[in-house]
Every structure is written in C-alpha cells, then in structure tokens.
Structure 1
Amino acid sequence: MEKYLEKAQELFIDYAPKVVTALAILIAGLFIINLIIRATKKVMTKQNVDITLQKFLTNLLSWTLKVLLIITVIAKLGIETTSFAAILASAGLAIGLALQGSLANFAGGALIMVFKPFKVGDFIEAQGVSGKVKEIQIFTTHLNTPQNRLVILPNGSLSNGNIINFTAENKLRVDLTFGVGYESDIKKTKQVLMEVLTSNSKVLKDPAPAVMVSELADSSVNFVVKAWTDVADYWDVHYETIENTKIALDKAGIDIPYPHSVEIQKQG
C-alpha cells in the first residue's frame, strides 16, 4: 500500500502543475473565444450581414476555436496530439468530400447573403423558374410562384446562374403588341391606344407611356405598347391594357385581323 501511495504522490507531483496549467489555459481560452465571438458579431452587425449567416459563421468560428483550444490543453497535459490531429484532418477531408455539394450550396448562400442580389419579398427569375422570394436559408432559397407553388432552389447553382430581379428598380415596363388591319388609320390607332394607357391611373406618367408601329406583318400592322408601372401593379396593368384595348378598338371601329379559312367545294 505504501508503494502505491508513493507512486500516486509522484504522479500527483509530476502532473499537478500540468493539470493546473491546462485548466488555466482552458479557462483563459474560453474567455478569449467569447470575446472574439462577440467582436465578430458586432462587426457583422455593423456590416448588415444577414442574421442567418451571422449565426452560422459565429457557430463555425466558435467550434473551430474550441477544437484548437482542446488540442492545446491535451498537448499541455503531455498527451501526444500528432495522431489526434491526423485523425481530425482525415475526418475533415472525408466530411468535405461527402458534403461537397452542400459546401457549394453554403458558399452560394453566403455570397447571396453578403452581396444581396435579391431579398425576401423580391420577385425574381432564376434557374428556369420565377416567383416571390419567401425565405433565404444558408443552403437553399425558397420561392413562391404566381401559382402559389413552393420552389426550393439550391444556393450553389442559384449564385452561379443568371438572376433577373424584377423588384430591384421599384417599377416595371409592360410591353404588349397589338395588330390592326391594313385599312386602319395609323394615327387614329395610335391615339386610341395612347388614350387606353393615359386613362389608366396605374400607368406612370414618368417615364411616359409610348405607342409605336413595330412591324408591317403579313396580315396586320403591329403596334407595340410600352407602359411603366409600379411593381405591385404590373399584372393589373398588363391584363387591363389588353381588355381595354379590345374595347377601345371595337368602339373606334378599328379592325383586329384574325385568321380566316376558306372552304372550296368542287362539284363533279
């Protein structure tokens, strides 16, 4: 028993300073990590970084620093950390390869949140679909289509593709084309079409609406109609202009050509 007690005393004398030092490093390290995390949060808040990205980056930074702190504490206790670091590196490489697509989506989400090509509430077109941005997550972006369908787009491909943001400039132009018969008076037709636009209170006066002859087609003279409106009124102006144009052209006696078929019967 005395021999075991002496051995325990020797071990205590040998390891007590290391344990005390390791505990001191652990406590000081955790305190410093907290300071770094708080400072990082303040910087990202001042830079208006998205709250989702803030949480993800601060958590990632916190765990990285804590792992490094644990390795330092283990090394201070005299435990060999070379193999431990090698295992961590191998695990990190394996995880990175397995999550290659997810990491690309994370990088894409970070780029979207930092550079903000669109925000929640914007109406965009990307990856062959269009809709209102419902939510921007770190890996995916959610859109609501005009048919109220939920579309989930991976941020990796979204950030690397073309994005059309219809809401960014606060106003949109409605472009429509109408055809009238060749016997119709061009000036009168332009006047009727312009009255349709100017009588609509949702059509902006600045920039001013425009009506122009765009094409002398096979069976019609085509007029292009351009009307600026607020984003929220785009579809109202679009459909109202079509309806009101038909009513106004009919009232003015201006013909809208349509395909005719002629049936020829041969009598034997």
Structure 2
Amino acid sequence: MNHDFFDFNRYRETLTTFFVTYGARFLVAMLLLFIGLWVINRIVKFINREMITHNVDPSLRPFLRNVLNVALKILLIIAVISQLGMEMTSVFAVLGSAGLAIGLALQGSLANFAGGVLILALKPFRVGDYIEAQGVSGTVNLINILNTVIKTPENKTIYIPNGPLASSTIVNYDVESNRRADIRILIHYGNDVALAKNLIRQLIAQDNRILPEPAPQVVSENTDMGVNIYTRVWAAKGNVGGITNDFHDWIRSAFEKNGITIAYRDPNASR
C-alpha cells in the first residue's frame, strides 16, 4: 500500500493557510452582512420617520421606503461578495446576465413597477381617495411597488397590479371637494308631476347639507314606462352618499302621503 497517496503533513500548511485566509474572510463577510442588515433597517426606519415629519405624500412613502430598502440590500450583497475575494468584474458580468434573464422572466413585474412609478408621478389618486378602476371600487389603502391595495365598502381587500391600473380608466370620486348627487324616481302617468316636483323642492329646502350653488335642479322626462323625475343637488363630497340614500326614502314617503304612485325606484345610490 502506498502511504504517500495522501500525505496530510504535506498539505497541512496549504490547508491551514486556506482556512485561515478564506475562513477569516467568510467570518468578516457574515459579520458585514448581519451588521449591514441591521444598519439598513435603522436607515429605512429613520428615513420613514423623516418623511412623516416633513409631511411627504402618504402615497409616496411606502414606495420610496421599499425602493431604498431594495437598493441598499443590493449594495450590501455586492460588498459581501467583494469581501469574500471574488473578482468584481466577474460578479458584475454574472449580475448583468442574471439581470437580463430575470428581466425577461419578470416582464409583468417590471411593467407593474413602471406603472407604480407613473401612478406616483402623475397622481391620478392618493391614499385615502375613493376610486373606481379595473371593475372594482373602494378606498385606496396603500400604493406598493407592484400593486395598489383597495379597501371596498364591504371591507374586502383588493390588490390591483399597477401596470394595468396605470393604463386603465380611473374614476376618482375624491378629487373635487364638492360633488353632485343624482336621484331618479319613476312615477306612473296620471300623477300630478308639478306636485311631485314641488314636494321634492320642499325636501331640498329643508336639508342644509345641500349647497345653494350650483342651484338644485328638479326636472322631468316622459318615458314609455312613466315619468322620470330627476333631482340633482350639489353637496360636499362626504355628504353625497347620505343625501342620495336619504332622498330616495324621503321622496318615496312624501309621494305615498300625497297619493303619487311610484313605478320605479332607482336602487343605485351614488357615493
């Protein structure tokens, strides 16, 4: 048997040098990683507090916080790899190739990221606005890097990808401070239309939520099914939903008391 097949003593110095050199680098790299993550966490929290202190748009804060967090962690990973002794030219080449492959695989995510940037830049809505888009409606709760979180009146949470959202039609109910409430009531032919209108005008005069300007409108239109009576009043946006719901009930009650028969009651109360 050849005892020189593996002579530990011959390689001991080489192995010792290897473990001392690279073992030390590995420990330093791990230490750098843990300290770096702790520092990044502190920096992100500090920046978030500063944004709150300086009243940075709540829609923008989560986005900037996430971008900063990702950017700092990428820099930390590069620093850790460099500490391990790898050639940075090779590292950047690998990162470039990996980035291209990841970019091709995540085209949808990149489109959502670009959509998030557009939403924050153009500001079609902000956190707290009530919007309608992509077939859903609700209050904007959060704008993330890749999606926007909507809370519906039923307390459902909906995540809408930013890419399709940025390129779709968006109805923002909260841009203007005042909005118009539209109420439609259908009554049968043979009813006193003038009386019906006067009853509605009396209800309008008694409600101090309704703004005097633009002036309220009560108009009628003949249809195959009966006479449509449209009531259009302006109010602060927060009162529109209440006015719409209240007036449906009040008009119906007033009509019943005065012998006016309703053919149809519009169930769609505007927000």
TM bucket normalised to smaller: 0.5 to 0.7
Asked if residue 233 in structure 1 is aligned to residue 239 in structure 2, the reply is yes
8 Å Cα contact 2:184-2:228 kept in structure 1 = yes
- Structure 2 match to 1:97: 104
Report the CA distance between 1:70 and its aligned residue.
Answer: 9.8
8 Å Cα contact 2:151-2:157 kept in structure 1 = yes
- Structure 1 match to 2:22: none
* Equivalent position to 2:65, from 55, 58, 77: 55
- Structure 2 match to 1:10: none
- Structure 2 match to 1:7: none
8 Å Cα contact 2:210-2:234 kept in structure 1 = yes
Distance in 2 of aligned mates of 1:68 and 1:106:
23
> For residue 51 of structure 1, what is the amino acid of its counterpart?
R
Distance in 2 of aligned mates of 1:203 and 1:86:
66
Report the CA distance between 1:51 and its aligned residue.
Answer: 2.2
Report the CA distance between 1:121 and its aligned residue.
Answer: 1.1
Whose Rg is larger?
A: 1
Distance in 2 of aligned mates of 1:149 and 1:63:
33
User: What are the ranges of 5 or more consecutive residues in structure 1 without an aligned counterpart?
Assistant: 1-36, 259-268
Normalising by structure 2, what TM-score? 0.67
Cα 1:175/1:109, change in 2 over 3 Å: same
Give runs of aligned pairs for residues 40-119 of structure 1, distance below 5 A. 50-59=60-69, 83-119=90-126
Aligned residues between the structures: 216
Give runs of aligned pairs for residues 163-242 of structure 1, distance below 5 A. 163-213=170-220, 215-242=221-248
Report the CA distance between 1:237 and its aligned residue.
Answer: 0.8
Distance in 1 of aligned mates of 2:187 and 2:173:
31
* Equivalent position to 2:135, from 107, 115, 128: 128
Report the CA distance between 1:172 and its aligned residue.
Answer: 2.0
> For residue 219 of structure 2, what is the amino acid of its counterpart?
M
Percent pairwise identity = 38
More moved, 79-88 vs 178-187: 79-88
8 Å Cα contact 2:63-2:143 kept in structure 1 = no
Secondary structure of the residue that 2:207 maps to in structure 1?
coil
Asked if residue 256 in structure 1 is aligned to residue 262 in structure 2, the reply is yes
Report the CA distance between 1:146 and its aligned residue.
Answer: 1.2
Normalising by structure 1, what TM-score? 0.68
- Structure 2 match to 1:25: none
Distance in 1 of aligned mates of 2:142 and 2:102:
27
